[in-house]
């Protein structure tokens, strides 16, 4: 009798719990602050369950948008918001899950049920074998993977983030190459040798000329290689901030994520027997046996992974720009008089740009060179250092300080621009552009990857009808601002050859800035690239302190040193990761 009553009681409790947990059908919407801009989340409940989640957002392709897609599927599949966020998209993940939780609360959800944690995955250790193991699935890692696969290898990618592409996803996308058909069509005379000379000069002549020669000579072929994978190139050749010449090629659509998508599409044709990818799996150690690097140990949320490499391991983990403690420690070079502490942001994905690969390679015997060569970019957003709105890249833009004056040649190298910004009141300035740059507010900007309407909605950019309104908006004397604009226009109209800052109108896009509307955004310096890293040779082999090859170890991309010298020329990063990623993948596949 008592057992029967107990059973009836248990059934009643369970029924009551299910009734309490049941959701009321309908659509529920929440608007929250995302990483880039507000997110609008709508949860549809049908038959008492989460049926769909739709999102209106301006999050970054390849990063925030990937996180939203992953989390949407997990929440629906598991009928709970108790899922882990996506590494590398922490803010987006947190805000998305928070908004869904609020929507469910509106639907009458019992959050003891709908916030229940999803059980952890199996943590049994896994050992995998391949010809080539790549540590880091960013741009250089993906280029290495495609190259290795093209050369017959089986490949494993070990990636610490929850998505592929790394910080390449959020870069502007400029790829410098000299003597291309796109330049020729525009009447631009250039060559790989000119690219070489500009890169050496821009790096203050401390780069390894052998590496720079490989970069310059290989860039046009790397561009063709990408086109062979389906990359569409915008025929308008630009000049990235500090590019020193009009040789920056951009993908269409704009932005670094287009390269990532192109490489991912190329990888997709290889099945799981040829390619395995482990996400959310930071590498912990390079396995060295008898002086040769033979594999990688990683950990995927508590699951030990051992990836053994028959022919080689390629390190492509990016730089250390977000590791404040480390960058302060090594800041003994050109920025030693500047405080690069936590008040200076970083334009890259913070969890990615920690310098993990440097430590792994150094422990395996690799020499680290040029660590004090840190690039500060003038295009940071106040508070974060991210570059989310109008860009300093391109032409027809003015650097205006808080007094309303120009203070630098806007076409100067990045280190010159950033140093000039540090010298201004408050170490900040206004980036001013006009209708020349944005004739159509609904068109995606070549350099920012967003429309002006998007940027205005984010409220990081302000719009003025004329210079008088602009002066009032940024609180400067209108006559002083007009004089600053006119100083630029005199050069652009070729009334004078140069101005007091050294600006010359030698670019096909240099034109007088006269008509409104005008667009303005506040800017600050930000850490953008770390030029030092693993010492490599022209075949992407990692070298020890004696200049000897470390058998089985290769490196490519921002994790390496010697290519960019003391200052990276704008537009050379993508060229670097494609050229040397391709080399590393080929040589590792062939065991050369």
> What is the pLDDT at residue 385?
83
- Please check whether residue 384 lies inside any domain of the structure: yes
Same domain, 430 and 310: no
Same domain, 76 and 213: no
> What is the pLDDT at residue 448?
61
Instruction: Respond yes or no on whether the N-terminal peptide bond of residue 517 is cis (omega within 30° of 0).
Output: yes
Domain final position from 114, 147, 167: 114
Q: What's the structural domain count of the chain?
A: 3
Instruction: Respond yes or no on whether the N-terminal peptide bond of residue 469 is cis (omega within 30° of 0).
Output: no
Same domain, 182 and 313: yes
Same domain, 210 and 80: no
Q: What's the CATH code of the domain at 90?
A: 3.90.1010.20
Radius of gyration of the chain (CA): 26
Tens digit of pLDDT for each residue in 148-188? 999 999 999 999 999 999 999 989 899 999 999 999 999 99
Catalytic residues: 414
CA distance 144 to 318: 13
DSSP H or E run through 528: strand 518-530
Lowest mean pLDDT across 338-342, 488-492, 538-542, 556-560: 338-342
- Please check whether residue 347 lies inside any domain of the structure: no
Domain final position from 526, 549, 564: 526
Same domain, 365 and 382: no
- Please check whether residue 343 lies inside any domain of the structure: no
Q: What's the CATH code of the domain at 409?
A: 3.90.700.10
Strand runs labelled E in 12-149: 26-33, 38-46, 49-56, 126-135
Tens digit of pLDDT for each residue in 464-483? 999 999 999 999 999 999 99
- Please check whether residue 572 lies inside any domain of the structure: yes
Same domain, 181 and 310: yes
CA distance 389 to 163: 23
> What is the pLDDT at residue 182?
98
Whether 227 has a pLDDT exceeding 90, the answer reads yes
Same domain, 366 and 462: no
Mean pLDDT on 236-241: 91
Same domain, 551 and 535: yes
Same domain, 392 and 540: no
End-to-end CA distance of the chain: 80
Domain final position from 82, 114, 146: 114
Residue 20 banded pLDDT, cuts 50, 70, 90: very low
The label of the residue with tokens 């028959």 reads 310
CA distance 403 to 18: 65
Same domain, 86 and 142: no
CA distance 400 to 520: 10
Backbone angles phi, psi at 551, to 5 degrees: -55, 130
Tens digit of pLDDT for each residue in 261-279? 999 999 999 999 999 999 9
- Please check whether residue 283 lies inside any domain of the structure: yes
Q: What letters, b where the CB count within 10 A reaches 16 and e where it falls short, cover 109-136?
A: bbeebbbeeeeeeeeeeeebebbbbbbb
- Please check whether residue 517 lies inside any domain of the structure: yes
What range defines the domain where residue 179 resides?
A: 129-319+355-372+531-590
Tens digit of pLDDT for each residue in 391-420? 777 788 999 999 999 999 998 888 899 999
Residue 21 banded pLDDT, cuts 50, 70, 90: low
Same domain, 193 and 247: yes
> What is the pLDDT at residue 455?
86
- Please check whether residue 58 lies inside any domain of the structure: yes
Same domain, 260 and 386: no
Tens digit of pLDDT for each residue in 284-303? 999 999 999 999 999 999 99
- Please check whether residue 175 lies inside any domain of the structure: yes
> What is the pLDDT at residue 67?
96
Q: What's the CATH code of the domain at 304?
A: 3.50.50.60
């Amino acid at each position: 009798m008592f057992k029967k009553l107990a059973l009836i009681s248990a059934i009643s409790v369970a029924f009551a719990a299910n009734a309490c947990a049941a959701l009321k059908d309908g659509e529920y919407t929440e608007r929250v602050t995302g990483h880039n801009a507000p997110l609008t989340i709508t949860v549809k409940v049908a038959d008492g369950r989460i049926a769909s989640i739709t999102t209106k957002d301006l999050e970054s392709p390849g990063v925030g948008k990937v996180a939203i897609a992953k989390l949407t599927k997990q929440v629906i599949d598991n009928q709970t918001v108790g899922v882990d966020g996506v590494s590398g998209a922490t803010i987006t993940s947190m805000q998305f899950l928070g908004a869904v939780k609020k929507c469910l609360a509106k639907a009458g959800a019992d959050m003891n049920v709908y916030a229940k944690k999803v059980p952890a995955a199996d943590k049994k250790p896994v050992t995998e074998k391949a010809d080539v193991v790549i540590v880091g699935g960013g741009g250089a890692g993906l280029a290495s993977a495609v190259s290795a696969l093209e050369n017959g290898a089986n490949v494993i990618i070990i990636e610490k983030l929850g998505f592929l592409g790394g910080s390449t996803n959020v870069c502007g996308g400029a790829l410098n190459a000299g003597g291309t058909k796109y330049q020729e069509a525009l009447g631009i005379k250039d060559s790989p040798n000119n690219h070489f000379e500009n890169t050496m000069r821009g790096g203050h002549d401390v780069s390894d000329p052998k590496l720079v020669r490989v970069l310059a000579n290989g860039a046009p072929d790397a561009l063709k290689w990408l086109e062979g994978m389906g990359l569409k190139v915008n025929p308008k050749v630009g000049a990235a901030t500090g590019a020193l010449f009009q040789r920056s090629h951009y993908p269409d659509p704009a932005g670094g994520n287009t390269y990532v998508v192109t490489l991912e599409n190329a990888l997709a044709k290889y099945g799981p027997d040829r390619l395995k990818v482990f996400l959310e799996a930071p590498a912990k150690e390079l396995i060295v046996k008898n002086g040769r690097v033979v594999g990688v140990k990683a950990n995927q949320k508590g699951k030990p992974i051992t990836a053994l490499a028959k022919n080689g391991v390629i390190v492509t983990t990016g730089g250390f720009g977000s590791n404040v403690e480390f960058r302060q420690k090594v800041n003994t070079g050109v920025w030693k008089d500047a405080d690069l502490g936590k008040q200076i942001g970083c334009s890259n994905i913070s969890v990615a740009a920690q310098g993990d690969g440097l430590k792994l390679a150094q422990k395996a015997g690799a020499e680290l060179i040029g660590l004090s060569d840190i690039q500060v970019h003038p295009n940071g957003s106040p508070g974060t250092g991210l570059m989310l709105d109008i860009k300093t890249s391109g032409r027809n833009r003015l650097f205006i300080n808080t007094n309303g004056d120009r203070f630098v040649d806007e076409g100067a190298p990045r280190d010159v621009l950033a140093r000039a910004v540090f010298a201004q009141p408050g170490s900040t300035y206004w980036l001013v552009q006009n209708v020349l740059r944005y004739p159509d507010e609904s068109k995606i900007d070549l350099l920012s990857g967003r429309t002006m309407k998007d940027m205005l909605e984010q409220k990081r950019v302000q719009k003025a009808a004329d210079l008088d309104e602009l002066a009032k908006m940024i609180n400067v004397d209108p006559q002083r601002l007009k004089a600053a604009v006119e100083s630029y226009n005199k050069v652009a109209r070729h009334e004078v050859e140069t101005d007091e800052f050294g600006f010359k109108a030698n670019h096909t896009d240099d034109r007088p800035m006269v008509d409104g509307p005008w667009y303005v955004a506040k800017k600050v310096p930000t850490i953008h690239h770390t030029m030092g890293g693993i010492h490599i040779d022209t075949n992407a082999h990692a070298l020890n302190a004696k200049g000897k090859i470390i058998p089985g170890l290769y490196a490519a991309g921002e994790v390496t040193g010697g290519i960019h010298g003391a200052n990276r020329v704008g537009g050379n990063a993508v060229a670097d990761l494609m050229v040397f990623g391709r080399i590393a993948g080929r040589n590792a596949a062939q065991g050369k």
